[in-house]
Structure 1
Amino acid sequence: MRTELFRNKIFFYIFLFIVGIDVAASLIQISRPAGSIGIIIFKILKLLVCLLAFVMFFIKTKLNHPVFKIYIYFVGLLFPIFLLFYGLKEFIMYGISVLRIETYFESGFAVLFAFVLLIFYNKFKIEAS
């Protein structure tokens, strides 16, 4: 394994574990039916980004850190924010809640967790000179 990506090896293993769990969760979620084509597309994109980020832990390229940033921004921040706004739009426009109340809490927690991960990522990353 390539632990020279980050100054702190503990953060490397924690980040690898988070991405690995996210790959497994994405594989499970892709098999579940969805009500909207937009949700299906986002599930596929999430799986692809997670797989690419997971592979980047094991190969040495100049694209490692940009892929990790894409993972944090898209999977950690944009996808949960999209889900929150989608549920809010459906509730405001149609007066129905298409998502369970737990989904809103999960998405909010995911955004908060992604901000913390982004702060630690920026603190511990080693840029190639």
Structure 2
Amino acid sequence: MAAKKAPKFTKLEKAVLLELVSEKKSVIKKKEWENIENAFNARHGVNTRSITQLKSLWKNLKVRAKADVAKERRDRRKTDGGPMEKNTDNISNAISEMIPQQINSLENAFDDDASFHGDGLEKENED
């Protein structure tokens, strides 16, 4: 007998997971994921999810947030600072604010094209 496929995550479920993870945004150990799973499944309006499913959603949301932020950064360069279409949604914005060290590129003062890539050297040169 084939295993029944779980329904897709709803916007509510994504928001609930984001809220629960943000409370524990430092390194999340197995025990914390168990707490997140219990808190998630106790919420009204969500489907029962396993730790594996929640971890997978969290990983996918981070990947999407990184891609959204990178696309927005590329689009901003194309317009040379002018108006542009917004690529990030509320979840991607929340994730990038929650874990900026994982989303934003690192500054590298020794990178000769860092200013071209927007790695922060413009700020240093303005002073």
Question: Do the structures match in fold with TM over 0.5?
Answer: no
Give TM-score, length-normalised by structure 1.
Answer: 0.35
Higher helix share: 1
Q: Which has the higher contact order (CA 8 A, sep 6+)?
A: 1
Give TM-score, length-normalised by structure 2.
Answer: 0.35
- Tell me which structure has the larger Cα radius of gyration: 2
